[in-house]
Structure 1
Amino acid sequence: MNQPCTLSSAIVPTWVNASQLDGMLRGIERESLRMQSNGFLSQKNHPKALGSALTHPHITTDYSEALMEFITTPHNTIAAALNELSDIHQVVHQQLEDGEKLWPLSMPCMLDDNEENIKLAQYGTSNIGRFKTLYRHGLGVRYGRRMQTISGVHYNLSFPDQLFATLQQHEKNEELKQLSLQDYRSHRYFALIRNFIRMTPLVMYLLGASPSVCRCFLTGRNHHLQPLVKGTLYLPEATALRMGRLGYQNSAQKQLGIYYNDLHDYLDGLQKAVHTPYPAFTDLGLNDEAGEPIQINDHVLQIENEYYSLVRPKQVPQAGETPSQALKNRGVGYVELRAVDVNPYSAIGIDETTAGFLESLALYCLLRESPDLWSDEQDQIDQNQTEVVNRGRAADAQIKEGHLTVSFQDWAQQHLSEIHTCAATLDQMDGTSLYQDAVYVMQQRLNDVENTLSAQVIKDTLQHGGTWNFGSVMAQQHVDCYDQHQLSAERQQYFEHLAQTSLQKQWQLEQENDTSFEQYLAQYR
């Protein structure tokens, strides 16, 4: 197993400066359930006035028809990304009917006893639309539909090529110096990914906001939670139950042997999973008794997107490309940081503080030494994550690295001090203190567990008498925020135009079905 890296006293080399970071881009994806006025999951269809969930670039659905996903374009500043996300929320809020609101927590609102009432996302009658719905049906068959009602925030981040060029010039390894810029960029992004995986316990402690769940989420499941207040279960020192075994899990994926040490090996592992049958999924069958398909295939992964990870290498696919083909053809273009709970205290699920911290952390993960990450170390990281998910706020929480066991507090403090130096470099880009301020807030959360989001959620859940009451109060506060957010006439027109054109695109796709869905699916299988 790799020994823990000793932290360099100069994590930011003297030859890396703010000018090389100019051109960083970030985009945000936020998920949120639509909730009825009585607190239960919405049974309504995706609002048609918002356009087509299949073809709209900013407003779509994830697993269920009620699980909305809001996607910003890439932006040069954090403020611009958050502002666009606010615009999207305002547009959606305008179109919600019958008292529906956006649920503000990662763990779902009220679910009734019948899983079938969690309606699958619908994308129309085109083959690609039906394929997307079938994929979701397969997820429900494999893992249960309740698991698919969990919401998160994905933070997409890219560094400019001039930074990678500078890093490559200062490499001591001649082989790395000889790589094309595209291959070197992929090499460094994979180093970032490995270190981010190592840092996920820190993310879960600092940003975790799911220490409790509505009892209805665990209907029919064995669990290790305790009652907090009527209708709510929790663990006293938990941080992010969404990221633990109650969250999105795939036991089949544990056996895949997909590692983030090399782009080509990663892609080979992913392709193997997409093409390898898994006995438990074979036993479920491909079709029901009436001959209707219930899952795309019986493989470990139906499609690449089913591979669940806390961070993903990404490249924007061109027409007809799968995510893997895009990566193979043009290398890693950006990373998707996925270990982030929805912040219930923000009307848009994320704030400037979280964004500033994540970017500081990402730069730290990029610049820090990053040895290969194999299964023995991954097993240890999994243990560390479980420790922090379930009892990260405990005074005696521990982290294992190699043969060492250290207190979580000491481990986190060591890294947070180094992350601060990266924040200082990022602040030099435009002469602000945004990044250092963000790390300062995280330091306060580390100094006193009562400052963490997870501790605040427990306190407020108790104060309001349960998850549903707390969530409803926050949802109403957020409505007030949306009402106050002013959308310019130009932006309003922009979203109205997108809604219309997305519906037209869906209609065109439905007219272009030149094969039956049965043939389309058979070709894929």
Structure 2
Amino acid sequence: MSQPESTSQDILPAWVDSTHISGMLRGIERESLRMQSSGFLSQADHPKALGSALTHPHITTDYSEALMEFITPPKDSIGKALDYLKDIHAVVHRQLENDEKLWPLSMPCMLDDQEENIRLAQYGTSNVGRFKTLYRHGLGVRYGRRMQTISGVHYNLSFPDHFFEALQHAETDEQLKALSLQDYRSHRYFGLIRNFIRLTPLVMFVVGASPSVCKCFMTGREHHLLPLLKGTLYLPYATALRMGRFGYQNSAQKQLGIHYNNLSGYLDGLQKAVHTPYAPFSSLGLNDAQGQPIQINDHVLQIENEYYSLVRPKQVPQEGETPSEALQKRGVGYVELRAVDVNPYDPVGIDENTAGFLEVLALYCLLQDSPDLLDDEQEIIEQNQAEVVNRGRAPNASIAENGKAYPIEEWCSRYLTAMQPLSALLDSAYATHLYRDALAVMQSRVDEVDETLSAKMIEDTLKQGGTWSFGSYMAQQHAGAYEQHPLSAETQAYFAEAAQVSLQRQQELEQDTSISFEQYLTHFR
């Protein structure tokens, strides 16, 4: 990636002003485990009062029955998105039973020795519901269930079409000028994605918040982690173990060669993976001794969602469409930034500083030159990511770029400085100083490593006496914040109705018995 100078015209074309980005939308997805008062993972069903996890638009489950996922609709400001997320948390907290709480860390609360006690998410008896649970069973068979208990934050962001029209109008390349708006928009989003991958080490350094894990998470696994306290393992300078080899990784996916250089190449790679058998998964078998299915298929990916990445191109699927079909038909509609740890100090897992930083970064990645990302560079990026994950706060941590090694603080500062003009542009568009403040907070973490979330977590884990004690203490604090959060009568009525409608919708799906699950699965396979 070309070295940015800290002069504004390099990054920000002179003609771009705040009107071009008015109409940006953002939505947030936050995952959180339900924890029993004993500190162990909840064994209870998803609370019925919250509706159906299969069909509710905002409150669902991820891998496990205990792993909740909260989804905001797209909003036209960071404040509105965060307010909506606060409403969801407050609604959920009021319906948790038996003194359960939301676990505030990316790495899980206490897990016992039995993997089967990590219950798979249940979606009822409809074919689509059973299919979702089978997919999760397959993940467990392939990678183990522990890995699937990790939580994250996904930040979804889109820029308005009139901005892409203006960018295309300013292009000097005739081929790019000749593209349809849909294809040009996809082209620019893929440029954003490649640059975001290049700059993921910056994200991990400034918002990484998983420097340690409960010892129970590593049961039965080889590792190089060190004891911090009884029951807690860590690496002295780690930032985001969630993003490293103990996090959600898939070695089979390494060989896929899925590239982000254009939409068609990306979709081809994904389709190949969904249709290619993979010997280690074939050896697991498709069904158990009783003839019950244990995974959807024996392919590199059971379905497209199994492909794990730091950032995804997305398009809203219509009824019956796969994510790929939606992208194929309507191009990239938004990007999902996935390299974000849950912030344990914020009741909703993300604050406005992280949100503001991610938006400035995304705009920078969109506007900055973005050459194709080839295997050699990808390898260097992965080494940089591993360096930041495992020892990003070490005094001699360094980042490799363009054949040189840079001290990590110098490398991070250079990019944060280059982004300043974009924070000013966003502040002007929203009549705020949120974006400038967000960059200042990130710069302060670069300047003083003890200000990073990962450093503070180690300090507080020591102070509280371990991961479980620290997590439980923060969970208690957050429960108080949810209780204090005012919910209007209108909001309460909306969520009560959404719960009812979702249960009715699930029931309708379960009444359709036109084909058996065996036929449904055979058809998919």
TM bucket (normalised to shorter chain) is over 0.9
| Residues 12-27 of structure 1: pairs in structure 2 closer than 5 A | 12-27=12-27
Q: Report the counterpart of residue 361 of structure 1 in structure 2.
A: 361
CA contact (8 A) 2:63 2:148 kept: yes
Equivalent residue for 2:439?
Answer: 439
Q: Which residue of the partner structure matches residue 272 of structure 1?
A: 272
Q: Secondary structure at the match of 1:89?
A: helix
Partner of 2:396, secondary structure, is coil
1:95-494 aligned at under 5 Å gives the runs: 95-494=95-494
Amino acid at match of 1:143: Y
Q: CA deviation at 1:404?
A: 1.6
Query: Does structure 1 conserve the Cα–Cα contact (< 8 Å) formed by 2:34 and 2:102?
Result: yes
Once the two structures are superposed, residues 202-259 of structure 1 have per-residue CA deviations (whole angstroms, 9 ceiling, x without a partner) of 0000000000000000000001100001100000000000000000010000000100
Preserved CA contact (<8 Å) 1:202 1:412? yes
CA contact (8 A) 2:6 2:414 kept: no
Alignment partner, residue 53 of structure 1? 53
Residues 193 and 260 of structure 1 are in contact (CA less than 8 Å); yes or no, is this contact kept in structure 2?
yes
> Per-residue deviation at 1:494?
0.2
* Residue in structure 2 matched with residue 85 of structure 1 by the alignment: 85
Give how far 1:6 is off: 4.4
| In the alignment, structure 1 residue 65 sits paired with structure 2 residue 65 | yes
What TM-score does the superposition give when structure 2 sets the normalisation length?
0.99
Deviates more, 1:399-408 or 1:266-275: 399-408
The CA distance in 2 between the partners of 1:244 and 1:460, in whole Å, is 22
Q: Which moved more, 1:466-475 or 1:419-428?
A: 419-428
Report if the CA contact (8 A) 2:4-2:415 is conserved.
Answer: no
User: What's the secondary structure of 2:32's corresponding residue?
Assistant: strand
Cα deviation for residue 162 of structure 1 reads 1.0
The CA RMSD over aligned residues, in Å, is 0.8
Distance 1:86 1:470 in 2: 22
Give, in whole Å, the separation in 1 of the partners of 2:411 and 2:430.
31
Unmatched 5+ stretches in structure 1: none
For each residue in 1:465-515, what CA deviation from the matched residue of structure 2 results, as whole angstroms up to 9, or x when unmatched? 000000000000001100110100011000000000000000000001311
Deviation string, structure 1 residues 363-388 (Cα, Å, up to 9, x no partner): 00000000000111111100000000
Q: Does the aligned pair in 2 maintain the 1:34–1:68 contact within 8 Å?
A: yes
SS in 2 for 1:227: strand
**Residue 213 of structure 1: SS of its match in structure 2?**
strand
Structure 1 length-normalised TM: 0.99
Tell me if the contact between 1:5 and 1:369 (Cα under 8 Å) persists in the aligned partners: no
1:408 CA drift (Å):
1.2
Contact 1:56 1:498 in 2 (8 A): yes
Aligned residue for 1:387, secondary structure, equals helix
Q: Could you tell me how far 1:7 is from its partner in structure 2? A: 4.0
One-letter identity of the residue aligned with 1:40: F
Q: Classify the secondary structure of the residue corresponding to 2:221.
A: coil
Q: Secondary structure at the match of 1:421?
A: helix
Secondary structure of 1:56 counterpart: coil
Equivalents in 1 of 2:431, 2:128: separation in Å? 47
What secondary structure is seen at the aligned counterpart in 2 of 1:272? helix
1:29 partner amino acid: E
SS in 2 for 1:393: coil
Count how many residue pairs are aligned between Structure 1 and Structure 2: 523
Using the alignment, how far apart are the partners of 1:481 and 1:406 within structure 2? 42
Contact 1:310–1:338 (CA under 8 A) maintained in structure 2: yes
Residues 238 and 391, structure 1, Cα contact 8 Å, conserved in 2: yes
How far 1:4 sits from its partner (Å)?
4.1
Q: What are the superposed Cα offsets for residues 45-94 of structure 1, whole Å, 9 maximum, x if unpaired?
A: 00000000000000000000000000000000000000000000001000
Change (3 A) 1:467 1:172: same
Does the 8 A contact of 1:273 with 1:300 survive in 2? yes
Distance in 1 between residues matched to 2:470 and 2:3, nearest whole Å: 42
Q: Contact 2:195–2:370 at 8 Å: present in 1 too?
A: yes
Q: Distance in 1 between matches of 2:513 and 2:118?
A: 28
> In 2, distance between residues paired with 1:272 and 1:216?
36
C-alpha distance in 1 between matches for 2:314 and 2:3? 27
Q: Which AA in structure 2 matches 1:178?
A: A
Residue 409 of structure 1 and its aligned partner are, at CA, apart by 1.4
Distance 2:420 2:68 in 1: 34
What letter is aligned with 2:352?
E
Aligned-pair CA distance for 1:430: 2.4
SS of equivalent to 2:405: strand
Letter in 1 for 2:397: A
Distance 1:22 1:110 in 2: 44
Q: Over residues 181-211 of structure 1, what are the superposed CA-to-partner deviations in whole Å (9 max), with x where a residue is unaligned?
A: 1100000000000000000000000000000
In the alignment, the residues of structure 1 paired with residue 402 and residue 413 of structure 2 have an alpha-carbon distance, to the nearest angstrom, of 18
Q: 2:89·2:482 contact (CA, 8 Å) conserved in 1?
A: yes
| Secondary structure of 1:428's aligned partner | helix
How far apart, in 2, do the equivalents of 1:150 and 1:513 lie? 35
1:54 and 1:506 in contact (8 A); partners too: yes
Q: Is the CA contact (8 Å cut-off) linking 1:4 and 1:401 kept in structure 2?
A: no
Deviates more, 1:416-425 or 1:314-323: 416-425
Distance between the aligned counterparts of 2:3 and 2:476, measured in 1? 47
| SS class of match (2:199) | helix
